[in-house]
Every structure is written in structure tokens, then in C-alpha cells.
Structure 1
């Protein structure tokens, strides 16, 4: 795991625990608060999915570039 992935995982885990705690602590009378917490968590989850997707795209691009560079170097060295 890279440092970015570890940080993102920690943030998501903390957000999940915080959302669950907030839902458990609030009374059943306070539906508006529960709705706000649920919406916030869903928004956080959606933005995290976008960040993970972006990170995956960057990793794929870097791997493709590295593979091409290796092929180019091999072609230069190959007799």
C-alpha cells in the first residue's frame, strides 16, 4: 500500500466510524440529524470513490509508461 492509499483508507474508516457513532448517539426523534449525517457520509463515500478511481488511473498510466520505457531500452540494447 502506498502512503496515499493508507491515508485514504484511514480517513474512510474514521468517517465510517464517526457516522455510525453519530447515528447511534442521536435519538430517534432527531431524524433530520440522522439524515444530514447519512447524506454527509454518502457524499464522502462518493468523493472517495472518485479519488480512488483517479489514483487507479494514475497508477495504470505510470505502469504503462514504465513498461513502454523498458521495451524501448530493451530495443536499444538488443543486438
Structure 2
């Protein structure tokens, strides 16, 4: 597992733990919290995909330079 993959996995695990704590401690209605958490997870997933794409591009560029 690469360093970047470990970081992304750690962020996602932390997000899941944070979401569980928020749901337990929340005073809002369940549906409202669920909608907010869903939006937040979607944003987090999009950001993770973008970061992974950037890392992939960087690796491809580095491999191209090494082969040249």
C-alpha cells in the first residue's frame, strides 16, 4: 500500500468514525442529519477521487520520465 493510499484510507476511516459520533450525539431529526451526512460523504468521496486521479497522473508522469 502506498503512502497516498494509506492517507486516503485513513481519511475515509476517520470520516466514517466522525459520522457515527455525529449521529449518536446529534439533537436534530434523523432525516436532516442523514441528508447532511450524505452530502458530506459525497463531497469527501469526490475530493478523494480527485486526489487519487492527481496521484495517478503524477505516477504516470514519473514512469514516463524514468523510461525516457
Shorter-chain TM-score bucket reads: 0.7 to 0.9
Matched residue, 2:62: 62
Task: Name 1:48's counterpart in structure 2.
Answer: 48
Q: Which has the higher contact order (CA 8 A, sep 6+)?
A: 2
> Could you list the runs of 5+ residues in structure 2 that have no partner in the other structure?
none
- Using the TM superposition, give the Cα deviation of residue 50 of structure 1 relative to its aligned residue in structure 2, in angstroms: 0.5
Rg larger for: 1
| Unaligned stretches of 5+ residues in structure 1 | 69-79
Deviation at 1:62, TM superposition (A): 0.4
Residues matched between the structures, number: 66
Partners in 1 of 2:36 and 2:56 — Cα distance?
Answer: 30
Superposition TM-score, scaled by structure 1 size? 0.68
Q: What is the root-mean-square deviation in Å for CA atoms of aligned residues?
A: 2.1
Q: How far apart are the structure 1 equivalents of 2:46 and 2:17?
A: 17
User: Residues 22-61 of structure 1: CA distance to partner in whole angstroms, max 9, x if unpaired?
Assistant: 44x358x431121111111110011100100110010011
